[in-house]
Amino acid sequence: MQPNPWFMGVDGLAQADQLGTRRRLLDNAIFLHEVQNEFYEKFVRAVRETGYEGPILASNWQAPKDVPHYYNLRSDYLVGFIDRHGYFGGQIANTPLRRGFHNDSMLTRPGSGYLNRGMEQVIDRPFVLSEWVHVYPNEWLAEGPPLIAAYGLGLQGWDGSYPFAGHTATRGFATRLGGTNWNPYAPNFLGQFPALARMVYRGDVTQSEPISIRRVSLAELEAGELNFVETGESLREPGNVFSPISLAVGRTVVEFVDEPQPSKLPDLSQYVDGNAIRSVTGELTWYLSGRGYFTIDTAGTKGVVGFAGGTTSELGDWTIELQSPFASLIITALEREADLATGKSALVSVFARNRNNKMRFGPEGNTLLFSGGIPLRMEPVQAAISVKGRTIAEVHVLDHDGRRSGVTLPVTGGRFTIDGNRDQAVYYEIVFAE
């Protein structure tokens, strides 16, 4: 028996074609799938015999691409809901941070990073991402929560999200970065949850119908021949080529079928307008200019996330002019049963980068020269916000706990400016006139 599933993946089978061992390895893959299923069935039965009626998870681990991957996913599917882990950025293996780390952004390539785990959502099962975060010292931590909230829990209809990792001894925001590779208590991560939770629980972002369905049957897995090819790059591949860029367009799922059936793979080019990829719902737009950014345009929430400095985003009656190079700026109605056209007030949440005091990076931004210490410092954000059709009575500067500070901002013609240097704030409350 060959226990290493990589030999049954794409590269292993390509080599097996030359050696004449392809059928042997495919039989081996069937055997491993059957043994894994027997193991899971035994323990699911034992759990159910206790009287437990709740959800059961088989595993949140992945197998190599193509045949092993879909066998493993099918095993999880037979047990219950699908759960995965995903991380992005951080230290290069066996390389000191002073010599280099991954400081890329997920916004540069749609469908990359831990959003890519959504490729394993199965059409008739709940899907959960139970571990995810940017890995220290990647600087673009602030892009993660709105990506998961808007594209994952919103457009894709995911069912659960659990950032990694909670530390029970922590109270409030982290006072410095590092110590662990995972910093979900950083202000620019956890601090976005008040706004994003309102958006998610109100259902502002519409879940789309499935636009991309990869159909997989046991017969195809046993033959080692799927009816589609996976690629990571192209928007305009013909025929049976699947791209994870579809995660930026609409719900993308796997369907396990009894008999071979053609997959539903969209022509993504119809959703491209210049450098913009629009969702089928029209509420989310991912811009490929520069390092990338996206906008949220729903009745209850408006937002600009990413490298949008110098741009003006027209989002319905709202306009956001972002001056800072990178930010996550979210405007959301405060009431659960209202939107930005009817609510009495709205929350503005704005974050960029965090750095430890005296933290120093190399000139290319991908080496850490000195980790620094307390206090944790926030990158200030400058932007102008305006609205048509509603009268703004007041804009309150809030403290870091979301309470009114006693300071208000001037509003002229429905337009006001925020400035992190001046305001020392990340939250603002807009109060509309009756």
- pLDDT band at 169; cut points 50, 70, 90: low
Q: Are 240 and 198 in contact (CB under 8 A)?
A: no
Q: Are strands 272-273 and 368-370 parallel, antiparallel or unpaired?
A: unpaired
Kindly report the pTM of this predicted structure: 0.95
- pLDDT band at 237; cut points 50, 70, 90: very low
Q: Is the pLDDT of residue 291 over 60?
A: yes
Q: What is the pLDDT of residue 230?
A: 80
Q: Are strands 229-230 and 241-242 parallel, antiparallel or unpaired?
A: parallel
- pLDDT band at 236; cut points 50, 70, 90: very low
Q: Are 139 and 353 in contact (CB under 8 A)?
A: yes
| Beta bridge pairs of residue 131 | 85
Picking from 428, 424, 423, the residue whose alpha carbon sits closest to that of residue 398 is 428
Domain ranges of the chain: 5-202, 210-271, 273-432
Q: What is the pLDDT of residue 264?
A: 93
Q: Is the pLDDT of residue 381 over 80?
A: yes
Instruction: Give the total residue count for the chain.
Output: 434
The mean-pLDDT minimum among 16-20, 231-235, 261-265 falls in: 231-235
**Distance (Å, whole) CA 376 – CA 179:** 13
pLDDT tens-digit readout, 387-406: 999 999 999 999 999 999 99
Q: Is the pLDDT of residue 168 over 70?
A: no
The whole-chain average pLDDT of the chain stands at 94
- pLDDT band at 432; cut points 50, 70, 90: very high
Contact partners, residue 407, CB within 8 Å, separation at least 6: 396, 397, 423
- pLDDT band at 73; cut points 50, 70, 90: very high
**Distance (Å, whole) CA 330 – CA 205:** 13
Percent of the chain with pLDDT over 70: 97
pLDDT tens-digit readout, 31-51: 999 999 999 999 999 999 999
Mean pLDDT value of segment 257-262: 97
**Distance (Å, whole) CA 339 – CA 300:** 4
- pLDDT band at 23; cut points 50, 70, 90: very high
